[in-house]
Amino acid sequence: MKSLHDMPERPGPARASLDRLFELTEVLGALMQRGMADRGLTLARAGVLWALFHDGPMTQRALAAARGVTPRNVTGLLDALQEEGLIAREAHPTDRRATLVSLTPKGREFTAGLRGGRDELAALLFADLPPQQLDTFAATLVLAIERLKDVDSTAHA
């Protein structure tokens, strides 16, 4: 008969894939961090710029929700970005408590550069792959993301 402990001895394809995922997370994270450092800012600050680029001007509160961090943290990140001239704080037209954050021209230019870098990297990584392989890859990624989010939400309960 098969022992309950037959499986754990061999890696198994599922575990191997997850380990690859961990490795990729590390490498990709490091690469992004380096890329941002070369451009003179940090991942957290770049994330704020990216959110503004995608969704347009918004309040700091909305930005905090979009980035999943505390409002207080957003204040600090924006202070730095404003110092660099990449974002601007304006008065909110109707709510005098809130400030409306938007990209300056310089911020827009910078963010367009980011987008270009991303597209370049995407081409470098995947452009030469057979469409079917890339499809399978993307579909599996989507599945993994979905299940990970599930785990996270049930863990919060």
Partner DNA sequence: GCATATCGTGAAGTGACTTCACTATGTAGT
Partner DNA sequence: ACTACATAGTGAAGTCACTTCACGATATGC
- Note whether 113 binds a copy of itself by CB under 8 A: no
Residue 103 phi, psi dihedral angles, 5° rounding: -75, 140
Beta bridge partners of 89: 101
- Note whether 44 binds DNA by CB under 7 A: yes
- Note whether 29 binds a copy of itself by CB under 8 A: yes
- Cα-only R_g, the chain: 21
Residue 90 phi, psi dihedral angles, 5° rounding: -120, 165
Residues counted in the chain: 157
Q: Which does 33 bind (CB under 5 to 8 A by kind): DNA, a copy of itself, none?
A: none
Token pair of 9, please? 């001895």
Site for DNA in 86-115 (CB under 7 A): 89, 92, 94-99
Q: Are 92 and 100 in contact (CB under 8 A)?
A: yes
Q: Which residues bind a copy of itself (CB under 8 A)?
A: 8, 12-25, 27-31, 34, 68, 118-119, 121-127, 129, 131, 133-138, 140-145, 147-149, 151-152, 155
Q: Which residues bind DNA (CB under 7 A)?
A: 41-45, 59-61, 64, 69-73, 75-78, 80, 89, 92, 94-99
